[in-house]
Each structure stands twice: as C-alpha cells, then as structure tokens.
Amino acid sequence: MSALTIEIPDAVHAELKRLAAGKGEPVDKLLAQWTGRMVSQELEMDRIRLEVTTADIEAAKVFLASIPAATPMTNDEIE
C-alpha cells in the first residue's frame, strides 16, 4: 500500500474519527474504503459517458420500438 498525507478541516477530522469509532475501524481504513468506492464510481461514470457518446441512437430507437406495449405488473406502475 501507499501512504498519503492530506490536510482536512479539524471539524471534518473530528467527524471522521467519530464515524470510524462507531464502525470500530481506524480512520485510515475507513478513508481507504471510501476512496476505493469513489474511484470505482468515477471509473464507472467514465465508462457510462463513453458509452453514451458512442451509442447508436437509431439502433436504440429501433430496439425500443420493438418492445410490445403491456400493462405494468402489480406495484410496477409509474405514477
């Protein structure tokens, strides 16, 4: 693993310590978990943006038009 030093406001640091203590985790482990999640989310958003920019809109319209109309299942209605 790599070490990283960051500067954060004292109030944020206090909340991090409180949250970490509540989870029974050290602050550095909690930050590593959160950072990993954020990196994964950003990579996924990059992938989605790429798909959107390269999408074949006409093919999507043809596909959507091929879906038969049906009554929504119980509790699946959009209000």
> What are the residue ranges in the chain where pLDDT is below 70?
none
Backbone angles phi, psi at 70, to 5 degrees: -150, 155
In a domain, 73, yes or no: no
pLDDT, position 1:
85
The length of the chain, given as a count of residues: 79
Cα-Cα end-to-end distance for the chain: 49
Count of alpha carbons within 13 Å of 51, Cβ hemisphere only?
7
pLDDT, position 79:
80
How many separate domains does the chain show?
1
In a domain, 51, yes or no: yes
In a domain, 2, yes or no: no
pTM: 0.64
Helix H, strand E, coil C: the string for 17-50 is HHHHHHHCCCHHHHHHHHHHHHHHHHHHHHHHHH
* Dist CA 42 CA 44 (whole Å): 5
Which structural domain range is residue 59 located in? 11-65
pLDDT, position 72:
87
Element housing 54 (H / E): helix 27-54
